[in-house]
Amino acid sequence: MTLLDIFDFWHPHSVQHVLIGKEVDFRVSSDETNFVQKILEQNQIQYRILFHNLQDEIEKQLDGGKHFRKKYFYTRYNEWEKIAAWTKRMAKKHAKLISRIEIGKTYEDRPMYVLKVGKQSYQKKAIFMDCGIHAREWISPAFCQWFVKEAVTTYGIDKDMTLLLDNINFYVLPVFNVDGYVWTWTKDRMWRKNRSNNSNSDCIGTDLNRNFNASWDNYEEELRDPCELVYCGSSAESEPETKAVTTFIRAHLASIKGYITIHAYSQMLLFPYGYTEEKTPIHDKLNKLAKEAVGALRSLYQTEYIYGAIATTIYPCSGDSTDWAYNEGIKYSFSFELRDRGQYGFLLPESQIKPTCMETMLAIKVLAKYIVNNDQ
């Protein structure tokens, strides 16, 4: 074991992306706390402890309000079984606006459900939106559920949402990484990858957001190590979850004009490219649109987001879904990093689900309305 092996980097996800003068969030075991504090102090590095007992915070989310856990709530984090049942219930209850599509199976043979949300009509534009590609980012699936609920309950009431559902189909994948999400509820709350086996290694899982065919395996050395958080898989689209999504999107490329993927955390709105610092031909247009979207988001609770191209705004990466979608011809491809900026990180309290979702809805509406009015 090396010194770095005792760190679980949260933001950025890897020591390779740690920069002088930039804040770093990481987790260490209780056994290593004094040792790490001593190193930081010896090197005159300022630090603050966000969680004195991380397990206590995890148990609050897993066990808090146990009498509520059997029920489904939009303002609570829901287990996969409840989300799956919710997709069926929503499609039945709102049959004129929602249909449920099974686009494939996960590595552990769980169904991947997409909800098609929109007024039934032919030859409509579409936006594909996925949540929960990284298992531990629980606020992400919570947002996709909130989005669907808001879309159907405000249709015919809210002018913007009515316009959108009349003119666009939203394909919403509430949980991309179902197996990993289940694992975070049952075994390891901080799990990131999927749960596939890797040949020639005892380490489990692939980072699904490094498994897309967009400069796959071309940037980070750690992408090739099955034991790393960002292992990119044995080949591009090697994972059944990735393959299910890419197959579905390719089959609907004629209509899909926008791609949105929801992550956490760091409060950013990102767009291609991630695998190069070169600008896309429509960089200025994407930048202007992102600026407008974060402005709308800020208007509700004054939550500050930064925006820009992935490689120059957060860090370079290859094999991610946003670059892949853009390269497939979906010009308006965006990645959200939701709340917060590190106070809670992946353990965002349930009390912040509603405000996070409400402000993010405003940004999504800006992006979607632009696609309705401008893209052909």
Active site residues per annotation: 337
Beta bridge partners of 337: 263, 268
Distance between CA atoms of residues 332 and 334, nearest Å: 7
∠ CA 58-14-22, nearest 5°, is 95
Distances, alpha carbon 10 to alpha carbons 25, 271, 347, in Å: 5, 21, 11
The token pair at 196 is 């596939």
Distance between CA atoms of residues 56 and 196, nearest Å: 29
- How deeply is 262 buried, as exposed, middle or buried, from its count of CB atoms within 10 A (0-12, 13-18, 19+)? buried
Report DSSP letters for 162-192, one per residue: HHHHHHEEEEEES-S-HHHHHHHHHT-TT--
∠ CA 303-115-98, nearest 5°, is 105
Q: Are 236 and 206 in contact (CB under 8 A)?
A: no
| DSSP helix/strand/coil, 255 | coil
- How deeply is 101 buried, as exposed, middle or buried, from its count of CB atoms within 10 A (0-12, 13-18, 19+)? middle
Cα atoms found within 13 Å of the Cα of residue 212, Cβ hemisphere only? 23
Tell me how crowded residue 343 is: count the other CB atoms within 10 A of its CB. Answer: 14
